[in-house]
Amino acid sequence: MAFELPPLPYAEDALEPAYSARTISFHYGKHHRTYVDTLNKLTAGTELENKTLEEVIGAVAGDAAKMPVFNNAAQVWNHTFFWNGMKPGGGGAPTGEVGERIAAAFGSHEQFVEAFKAAAVGRFGSGWAWLVLSGGQLEIVSTPNAEMPVPPAKKALLTVDVWEHAYYLDYQNRRPDWVQTFFDKLVNWEFVAANLAAAR
Ligand code: MN3
């Protein structure tokens, strides 16, 4: 059973104008699809081809000889998680438990967004910024390249892709504007709430 590109949870133009159909057509249709295709080529005929995506990531993480498999498998997982963290008409401050826990951990929603932007902008080169649950506490982390927070120590709640391919067509070099817009217009807090509930 080959690994498959999961369907987008919305139409390619559903996040306009904050995140353009042109960006999604490349980011989902080319970049994400290529990670899936490459993972299938790298695992075909090996003991990895019938494992789940999570099992593949766990099996090859930290194995220098399997770095290409890890990179492509992790990028498939990260992108699917990223797409689900956005929705049409999203953004704004979260309510309920997520809102309360963000205020408790970071002071306010605005302070949370500033801290998240700092982590995203501070990630030199390509990578990801994440909201995670770590030791029962909300925490912001960033990871390089394809790496992700490793459960069970750190459970991912939300991510923003800060590879240039994620934002260059819409925001050029302005990574802080991309992250600010993600939180103002795109973030799907129901996804975060569901991940938080599942992480306990
Ligand atoms: Mn990407």
Place of tokens 């005929």: 45
The alpha carbon of 163 and the centre of ligand 1 are apart by a number of angstroms equal to 6
pLDDT tens readout for residues 152-195 = 889 999 999 999 999 999 999 999 999 999 999 999 999 999 99
Ordered domains of the chain (ranges, CATH): 21-84 (1.10.287.990), 96-199 (3.55.40.20)
* Mean pLDDT confidence for 134-152: 95
Q: Sign of the CA dihedral 121, 82, 139, 57?
A: negative
Q: What is the pTM of this model?
A: 0.97
- Residues in contact with 182: Cβ distance below 8 Å, sequence separation at least 6, in sequence order: 18, 86, 91, 160
The alpha carbon of 31 and the centre of ligand 1 are apart by a number of angstroms equal to 7
* Mean pLDDT confidence for 63-87: 98
The alpha carbon of 104 and the centre of ligand 1 are apart by a number of angstroms equal to 30
Q: Quickly state the pLDDT bin for 1 (edges 50, 70, 90).
A: low
- On the question of pLDDT at 151 being above 90, the answer is no
Q: What is the chain's Cα-based Rg?
A: 17
* Mean pLDDT confidence for 22-28: 98
Are 102 and 140 within 8 A, CB to CB?
A: no
Residues in the chain: 200
Helix (H, G, I), strand (E, B) or coil at 189: helix
Q: Which residues pair with 155 in a beta bridge?
A: 133
The alpha carbon of 16 and the centre of ligand 1 are apart by a number of angstroms equal to 18
Residue 18 in tokens: 């904050």
Q: What is the phi/psi pair of residue 18, to 5°?
A: -65, -35
The alpha carbon of 28 and the centre of ligand 1 are apart by a number of angstroms equal to 8
The alpha carbon of 174 and the centre of ligand 1 are apart by a number of angstroms equal to 16
Q: Quickly state the pLDDT bin for 62 (edges 50, 70, 90).
A: very high
